Chain A
């Protein structure tokens, strides 16, 4: 099957969708015209830039450069997590980045080399999108888990300090809290496994089908992606929550928050 290509000219026609939204905005005075304009321009610019970059990356044959690029992506994921969690008393950027870097690089490496078995393992067409999906999904999970963790540490301070004051260590003082935070982070990706295919067709699979890949093949890729994301989310959330939790306590087993 041939892929029908879209040219820049055809894209201009799709600007009609924006005009439609802008018309609605004007009619109902939603005052979103400006955002629509900026958003449209950014979409064009950012994606064009990324396309150009990807072209460049796909020509790379140096595993170190590809790993470096992946670390760069993970750094921005960790940065976004810190921004969303917004915790001033505990530094989380460092531990988040380091644990994401180690675990997600290993997981992506495992997926490309052992599951997909692409030669060589760092082939950027596989490594970067697979790793990127892991990072994007885990970024949401980790922010949810950390937000929950800090919120419940503040709310249940009395319970935590009760156990500390009876001679418990920091792990004992927040067993429940930790479990709840990790669960909160994992629930979305587990739920996604429940509804995938029923409620929505995942973007990656749709993309492959549009690109002319045999649907059965696209489905197998999507299954791999779902499983991979659940595993990466679980491991990433677990490690980051533990590292962050440890930083909430002083060496004298005192709650810092």
Chain B
């Protein structure tokens, strides 16, 4: 049963065609890796899948329902998106981790300090919850941002270069965390130019405006 997919989705940047009409279908718990030269439209594709980029709402469906028929907030709770550059809002790490829970769409209780601390430690982040999030290093921000999404338990996670800013050790940590989430049933679409440790799944390459399965 398909969780997220597109039928005949095309991508354009201004007048330039990035991707010819493309079909893609991803099942629950499945992992897909996207690679290709920079500027080829990988990030744009991810942004379309979570409906951040205008257009294509009639070509993409999640759980059998077109994006156009979803309430945007509900959809984005189901399909989380992690941009290439992690963004921290003004405030502490706690504020940033709780951000999504303070939005109107949220009905889940705020995560407790203890739970958040454990999650941070599992990512090898030995920082206090009161640390100013904007003073974190790029590598720390990347992990806090990932955690921010994982706490919401989305069914699909769209990751744009999740390990590009990390050193080898932290990259391995993030890769393991992603793998664990996938084993728990989270589908993932990952854009990465580096190989992801332990990645099991399909691999597509952007080649001359087409999405081709890579060997």
Which residues of A does B touch, CB under 8 Å? 158-159, 161-169, 172, 250, 252-256
Contacts of B73 in A (CB 8 A): 167-169, 253
Give a binary string over B56-74; 1 marks a CB under 8 Å from any A CB, 0 the rest. Answer: 0100000000011000111
Known contacts being A166-B148, A167-B100, is A161 close to B76, with CB within 8 Å?
A: no
Known contacts being A158-B85, A159-B89, A252-B68, is A166 close to B100, with CB within 8 Å?
A: yes
Known contacts being A252-B54, A252-B67, is A165 close to B74, with CB within 8 Å?
A: no
What separation, in Å, do the CA atoms of A159 and B88 have in the docked complex?
8
A162 touches B89 (CB 8 A): yes
Contacting residue for A165 out of B50, B57, B67, B104, CB 8 A: B50
Residue in chain B with minimal CB distance to A253? B72
Most buried by B among A158, A164, A252: A252
Give the contact-size bracket for chain B.
20 to 34
Besides the known contacts A165-B80, A167-B106, A172-B103, 6 further A-B residue pairs in the complex with CB atoms under 8 A apart: A161-B83, A167-B73, A169-B103, A172-B104, A252-B67, A253-B51
User: What are 14 inter-chain pairs, A to B, with CB distance below 8 A?
Assistant: A161-B52, A161-B83, A164-B76, A165-B76, A167-B76, A167-B105, A167-B152, A168-B105, A172-B104, A250-B54, A252-B57, A252-B67, A254-B51, A254-B52
Which residues of B does A touch, CB under 8 Å? 50-54, 57, 67-68, 72-74, 76-77, 80-81, 83, 85, 87, 89, 99-100, 103-106, 148, 152
B54 touches A168 (CB 8 A): no
User: Could you tell me the distance in whole angstroms from the C-beta of B156 to the nearest C-beta in chain A?
Assistant: 12
Most buried by A among B72, B73, B83, B105: B72
What separation, in Å, do the CA atoms of A163 and B53 have in the docked complex?
14
Residue in chain B with minimal CB distance to A176? B90
Contacts of A172 in B (CB 8 A): 103-104
User: Could you tell me the distance in whole angstroms from the C-beta of A173 to the nearest C-beta in chain B?
Assistant: 9
Contacts of B74 in A (CB 8 A): 167
Contacts of B68 in A (CB 8 A): 252
Contacts of A250 in B (CB 8 A): 54
B103 touches A166 (CB 8 A): yes
User: Could you tell me the distance in whole angstroms from the C-beta of A163 to the nearest C-beta in chain B?
Assistant: 7
What separation, in Å, do the CA atoms of A163 and B88 have in the docked complex?
11
What separation, in Å, do the CA atoms of A189 and B100 have in the docked complex?
37
User: Could you tell me the distance in whole angstroms from the C-beta of B88 to the nearest C-beta in chain A?
Assistant: 9
A165 touches B81 (CB 8 A): yes
User: Could you tell me the distance in whole angstroms from the C-beta of A204 to the nearest C-beta in chain B?
Assistant: 42
Known contacts being A172-B103, A253-B73, is A158 close to B87, with CB within 8 Å?
A: yes
A169 touches B99 (CB 8 A): no
